Structure 1
Amino acid sequence: MSQTVLAEAPVEPAQPAPSLRRPRLPRWAPLGLAALAAALGTGVGLLAGLESRLQWGLMAALLYVVLTVTVAGAVEGARQARDRLATSVIWVCFLVAVVPLASLLWETVARGVQVLDGYFLTHSMNGVITMEPGGGIYHALIGTLEQVGLATLIAAPIGLLTAVYLVEYGTGRLAKAVTFFVDVMTGVPSIVAGLFVLSFWIIILDFGYSGFAGAMALAILMMPIVVRSTEEMLRLVPNELREASLALGVPKWKTILKVVLPTAVGGITTGVMLAVARVAGESAPVLLLVFGSAQINANPFEGAQSSLPYYIYEQWANGNAPSYDRAWAAALVLIAFVMILNLVARGIARWKAPKH
């Protein structure tokens, strides 16, 4: 029997499987592209004779987006390039929003610290010539604290009770009407609130200009903020807590008082503090109703009274260098006041947050 020898076919070397992972840009690539875009934007601005650094920054931002998409598309592929495009646009928008705020804060601090000291905080403008250095904001600081405090005493209880009604009892047309008017009041300009109090309190009822008149206008601006923030916090309280209390035979009003409000007290306090910070810098109602005074007036119910927003407007309107310095220092104090209120609100919210 003959043996047949079959020739073996040559075996080709195995081809490596195509990799599913594309190369990635290094971690420092965004920073490097940002530096390159900044250098190119500056160079283009200098060559084009543009004096505004804002224009340089806008060109650098545009070049950063273009360079990021181009390099990512060449190295990582079209899919990652689209992701890089979205990320770079978000960063550019963030910087466009932050840079003006940081510039404003820097300018206020740089100019405000020139005259901000203990004397400035503890003296008024009584007897001070506006063309000369000196004077302080003690009278305006007292006016702001009293006006904002009175506005809080008026707006916080009304806003809290309104929110409780809308969440716990509100049904039917009345609740819809209250919700509608709260939404309308949220968008009411501050000058309209000042004109309303001016026409009703001063012109019709014939009361004089006072800090209390300004506090009523500020309270009108605070109420919708307090209502909305409190309403949202009350809706976050689990219904199981209400049902458990009602199942034990506790009346509804006591359930609200002993269960619902203590559970939401952190958010409610935060909303009130943010409303206070919102109206602390309002100037239009103060210009119409408080009327301003260079003397210390600790009685908000009688006589003209100053405040920090009015003081800033008054000093800037004088049109001389010492007044400008005092205006910047008062603006710095007002920013610090609002910042402290926001920090206190965040601290209370964290302190009263549910513990897991």
Structure 2
Amino acid sequence: MTTPSRAASLGSVSLGRKIKDRAVQGLVYLAFALALIPLVSVLWTVVGNGAKRLDADFLNHSMNGVSGRDTGGGAYHAIIGTLEQVAIASLIAVPIAVLTAIYLVEYGANGRLARVVSFFVDVMTGIPSIVAGLFVLALWLLTLDFGFSGLAGALSLTILMIPTVVRATEEMLKLVPNELREASYALGVPRWRTILFVVVPTALTGMITGIMLAVARVMGETAPLLLTIFFTKAINTDPLSGPQGSLPTFIWEQAKDPSQNSIDRAWTGALVLILIIMLLNLVARIIAGRRAPTGR
């Protein structure tokens, strides 16, 4: 039987916990609001300044024959270049990174090779983007004597993508319950089929999120592209030869021109880059949602 004094004590404890819970909840909301301030500010600034030139002409014309003071011109050549370079980098980096993460989680465990691989992934995570560009410049362009090309830029982006995708995929695979693996093994399913048809589909949504984070990161890189693809105002749809445009180098080139028309084109290029990243993330979310296990 609870005495009145003890009931009062329990009530005060409960009240104290409620107050602490409300206080912590308020701090979380406050931190969330503070984190949104710079994001909303950046988006507001980019949209406000970039919407002026966002029209059909900007999306369908290049800067070939257009000077910085001219009112025309667009980023068509840069959009094509960015999409090609990121697509090539993703085709190279994603399979390598996903297979590496599967080895580290499903096969390597605490083996010596797994520790070595994990160490080098950590090292690659901290590599500055310009160092990746210098590496491709020294190996691909100077040593192997290939010229500036979209492929060279894609190789430098690949170096930056791999560690991000490896770490994201590794964490998602670790979150898959071992009970799912054990149930599959109990039915006589081989390990490789268990990984392919049970583990990977379960972790697919998080894996795609990690891949899109890597894509969003490399899509805005400028330094490695200046060293590997250079820049051009003409349209070059061939990523295997010749300098190729990209949205980051387009923004850099236009922003350094003091003309207001060039500054407007730089802002619009930044807005287009954000919109492309948002569109790719939306498409990836839809694909991941449709392929995710339903549990039925």
Band of TM-score, shorter chain: 0.7 to 0.9
Greater fraction helix: 2
TM-score by length of 2: 0.87
Equivalent pairs: percent with the same residue?
60
Question: Could you tell me how far apart the structure 2 residues matched to 1:166 and 1:78 are?
Answer: 46
Cα 1:227/1:134, change in 2 over 3 Å = same
> 1:267, CA displacement in angstroms?
2.7
In 2, are the aligned partners of 1:266 and 1:351 still within 8 Å (CA)?
A: no
Q: Any idea what SS the aligned residue of 1:111 has?
A: helix
Q: 1:246 to 1:204 in 2, by over 3 A?
A: same
**Corresponding position of 1:325:** 264
Shift in Å at residue 167 of structure 1? 1.2
Measured after TM superposition, the shift of residue 279 of structure 1 is: 1.1
Q: Using the alignment, how far apart are the partners of 1:264 and 1:90 within structure 2? A: 28
Unaligned ranges ≥5, structure 1? 1-17, 23-76
CA separation of 1:241 and 1:310: change in aligned 2, threshold 3 A: same
Q: Among 114, 118, 126, which residue is 1:175 paired with?
A: 114
Q: Which amino acid aligns with 2:43?
A: L
In the other structure, the counterpart of 2:3 is none
Residue 286 of structure 1 is matched in structure 2 by 225
1:173-252 correspondence to structure 2 within 5 Å: 173-252=112-191
- Aligned-pair CA distance for 1:318: 1.4
More displaced 10-residue stretch of structure 1: 227-236 or 192-201: 227-236
Q: 1:91 to 1:268 in 2, by over 3 A?
A: closer
Q: Distance in 2 between matches of 1:84 and 1:162?
A: 44
Given residue 290 of structure 1, which amino acid in structure 2 is its aligned partner?
A: I
What secondary structure sits across from 1:149 in the alignment? helix
2:5 is aligned to none
2:208 corresponds to: 269
The corresponding residue for 1:151 is 89
Per the alignment, residue 104 of structure 1 pairs with 42
Is residue 201–residue 292 contact of structure 2 (8 Å, CA) maintained in 1? no
Q: CA deviation at 1:103?
A: 1.5
Quick one: structure 1 residues 246 and 81, their matched pair in 2 at CA, closer, same or farther if it must change by over 3 Å? closer
Determine the structure 2 residue equivalent to 1:130: 68
Q: Choose 224-233 or 115-124, whichever is displaced more.
A: 224-233
Aligned partner of residue 318 in structure 1, secondary structure: coil
SS at match of 2:35: helix
Query: What is the number of equivalent residue pairs in this alignment?
Result: 284
TM-score (normalizing by structure 1):
0.73
Deviation at 1:130, TM superposition (A): 1.5
Q: Point out where structure 2 has 5 or more consecutive residues left out of the alignment.
A: 1-7
1:142 aligns with 2:80: yes
**Higher Rg:** 1
SS of residue paired to 1:302: coil
Residues 69-99 of structure 1: CA deviation (Å, up to 9, x unaligned): xxxxxxxx99988777655554544333222
- Runs of 4+ with >4 A deviation: 77-92
